[in-house]
Amino acid sequence: MKPAPKPQDNILQGIILIMGAVFLLALADALVKYLSTNMSLWQLYVIASLMSLPILVGLINGHPGTQPKVKSLRWVAIRSLLLLLMWIAYYAALPLIPLSVAAAAIYTTPLFIALLAALGAGEHLSRLAWLGILCGFLGVLVVLRPGDDTFTPATLLPVLAAIFYALAMLVTRHHCQREHPLILTLGLNLAFLAAGAFFSVLVAASKTGQLAETAPFLFANWQPLDASALTIIGVYALLLIIVNTGVARAYQIAPSALIGTFDYAYLIFASVWGYLLFSEVPDGLTWLGMGMILMAGLMVLRQPRI
């Protein structure tokens, strides 16, 4: 029996999807930063997941034509776990550092994607692309400024998140390419729900009083929420459905290194939302570092494709 033909790439559609997704993702992350003063991450995960589940199930059951089904439960589960770890690491940093700095730190992601795609997945990178990767990492160092008085260990959490995200996107490209994006989004939603429920119970059963004072977003118990907070969580849940479906599809239909490059637009969008919602204005070195990261993305983009 001959294997099914590999799906054809659609680069333009992939670029449009990733640009729209990271615009909405930056807004969703800004909402998480806003909510982090009033609730725990685990409470957010449980409530947002319960809001998302009926929508996702309805979209899957009402899908025209053949109903989407899981083709590889193992790879969907691995992808969901990697993304769950990414979100936990990234969201844990948001209450502690400016959104623009967190964005620059996590945007070692496209550099890791290009690097891992070349070393582990056989995607070709030119000398210019390798130079771009180096430039991007230097840009991240300029933003994070290790050894400077402004540096905090929390800025390393988005870098850890970037590694998990890069691995998840390569899994999407090479092992989940035939999975329907709604199935991938459902898998991640269930991972959020499971993690939120588990850690909510763990925190409630543990004596985390002192930890809750220093890191309430991770160790505080559930808090009562008003209608405004629930509305914001609902918007966040809807954004995650759109973003995760769009990102999954983008990495399915276009080369991971290329889509990873356009992922850099998140830097700009995060800075805009950070300014509009939190009055955060990046300093000169942060702008310089982000400029270097953007330049690195262009260098990766301009490499010859084979």
pLDDT tens for each residue of 166-208:
888 888 878 888 888 889 889 999 999 999 999 999 988 887 6
Give me 111's structure tokens: 């550099």
Question: In the prediction, which pLDDT does 241 show?
Answer: 87
With bands split at pLDDT 50, 70 and 90, how would you rate the model's confidence at 305?
A: very low
Helix (H) or strand (E) holding 81: helix 73-93
With bands split at pLDDT 50, 70 and 90, how would you rate the model's confidence at 253?
A: confident
Share of the chain above pLDDT 70, in %: 89
Give me 263's structure tokens: 């992922």
Contact call for residues 96 and 154 (beta carbons, < 8 A): yes
pTM for this model (two decimals): 0.79
113 or 204, which is more confident: 204
pLDDT for 121-142, tens place per residue?
566 777 887 888 788 878 878 8
Other C-beta atoms lying within 10 Å of the C-beta of residue 158: 28
CA distance 267 to 99: 9
Residue 89 has pLDDT above 90, yes or no: yes
Burial (CB < 10 A; 0-12, 13-18, 19+), residue 23, is middle
Residue 3 has pLDDT above 60, yes or no: no
CA distance 166 to 144: 20
Residue 228 has pLDDT above 70, yes or no: yes
With bands split at pLDDT 50, 70 and 90, how would you rate the model's confidence at 103?
A: confident
With bands split at pLDDT 50, 70 and 90, how would you rate the model's confidence at 300?
A: low
Helices (H), 206-226: 209-214, 216-219
Tell me the average pLDDT of the chain.
Answer: 83
Residue 289 amino acid letter: G
